[in-house]
Amino acid sequence: MSGWLNKIMQGGLLLLLAVAICLGGYSSLLSHRLELARRQAAEQQKTLAQQAGLIATLQTQDAQNRALMASQQQQEQQLRQQSDVYQRKYREAIKNDACAGRPMPGAVLELLRPAASGTDARGAVAP
């Protein structure tokens, strides 16, 4: 009976050894996966940091663009108001002028029209 018990103990020890080897391999596999996950997490952190920097840059540029657009709209509004004032002053100035009510002579109109091939770069009529 002690021989039988001895064989069972040896088999049990071999089984425990096999289980320990399997658990060691599984532990090694999990360690490898953990290391890969840590590397991936580090890369993602780096990518997130870069993206956060890009987002901050884009937000800064957006704020600058909005400020420029507001400035441009204000300038355009001022120019429109100035144009309206000039047009009103011009209408008031020519309202009682008899010369302003008459059509211009044809020669004056031709001088005011740019000739397609007879002008230089400044728009002056060539001799």
Distances, alpha carbon 77 to alpha carbons 73, 82, 98, 123, in Å? 6, 9, 33, 30
Which tens digits make up the pLDDT trace of 68-97? 999 999 999 999 999 999 999 989 988 888
120 secondary structure, DSSP code: -
Q: Say what the pTM is.
A: 0.51
The CA-based diameter of the chain, rounded to the nearest angstrom, is: 141
Distance CA 123, CA 115 (A): 9
Which tens digits make up the pLDDT trace of 11-44? 888 899 999 999 999 999 999 999 999 999 999 9
